Amino acid sequence: MTDQRLAEVSYARRGAAAWITLDRPAKRNALTPAMVGGLHQALDRADRDPALRTIVITGAGPAFCAGADLEFFRARQAEPDGCDRFMAGLLRPLADFLARLRSSPRPVIAAVNGACVAGGVELVVCCDLIVAVTGAIFSDAHSRRGLVPAIGGAAGLVRSLGAHRAKQLMLLAEDWDAPTLAACGLIADVVPPASMQARVDALGAALAQRSPLSLARMKELVHRAQDPPWEQLVEADLADFRANWGSADLRQG
C-alpha cells in the first residue's frame, strides 16, 4: 500500500483500488477549495495508474463529510462579489470533480464511515456503490440554512429514492440512518465499523474480476438512461443557488 498526503486529502493504493480520503477530521471533513483541489489531484493520480480497477471515497475520523465549510461560506457572504467567489472557489470545482467521478471508467465506491451531510450527500449520490457503517447518519440539511442542493444532489436523491422519499429527506432535513436508506435502495451494504475496510476490499476484489470495458460501458448506459442529463441539472441548480444568494432566508440560516 502506498500513501500520499495532498491538500486536505489522503491517497492510498490498496491492491487494485485507490482510497481517496477526505482528511480534515477536526472539521468533520467539511469541503474547502483546498480539499476539492486535493480531490482533483488524487483523481489525476488514479487516472495515471493503468492497473487501478476501483476508486474508493471515504472520510477520516468520525465523520464522512459535513458538506461545505461554513467558515468559507460565511466569509463570502460579507463580500460584494461573494456569490461569484463561492461558486468559482468551491461549487464549480466540486461539480467538476463529481462529473469526473460519474464519467470515470472505473467503479467508484463511497465508504461512508460516519455522518454524511448536505454536500456529503451530493458526493455519495455520484458514486456507483455506497457502503455505510451501521452508525452513519445522512441528512440533506440545506433547508435549515435557507439553501438548496446546488450541484445535482436533488436529482441524485430523486433517482435513488424516488420523488416522495427525496422530498421527505430534503424538506424536513431530518437525520436518516444507514439501514433505512439501505431499505430505500440508496445504500448497497451496511456493515459494522470494524468490517468496513474488509467489505470494501471484497467489493473491489470482485469488481477487479469483471471486464473493465463492460463496467465502463455499463456506467455510460445507466447515465444515458437518465433524463435530463446530470450536467444540465447541475447548471440549473447553480442558477438557482445564485438567485437565492441574497435572500433573507439564507442570511438568517
pTM for this one? 0.93
What is the model's pLDDT at position 12? 96
E-only strand ranges, the chain = 2-6, 9-14, 17-22, 54-59, 63-65, 108-112, 115-117, 129-133, 137-139, 176-177, 189-191
Is residue 200 in a domain?
A: no
Is residue 199 in a domain?
A: no
CA 124 to chain centre: 4
Q: Is 78 exposed, middle or buried (0-12, 13-18, 19+ CB in 10 A)?
A: exposed
Q: Characterize the bridge pairing of strands 108-112 and 129-133.
A: parallel
Is residue 206 in a domain?
A: no
Residue 152 near residue 237 (C-beta atoms within 8 A): yes
Q: What is the pLDDT averaged over residues 4-22?
A: 93
129 pairs with which residues across the strands? 109
Domains contained in the chain, number:
1
Q: What is the pLDDT averaged over residues 103-112?
A: 97
Is residue 170 in a domain?
A: yes
What is the model's pLDDT at position 1? 47
Give the residue numbers spanning the domain of 238: 2-194+211-252
pLDDT at 237 over 70: yes
Is residue 110 in a domain?
A: yes
Q: What is the pLDDT averaged over residues 78-104?
A: 94
What would the pLDDT profile of 186-228 be if each residue is shown by its tens digit?
A: 999 999 999 999 999 999 999 999 999 999 999 999 999 998 8
User: Could you tell me the CATH number of the domain that includes residue 64?
Assistant: 3.90.226.10
pLDDT at 45 over 60: yes
Q: What is the pLDDT averaged over residues 93-108?
A: 97
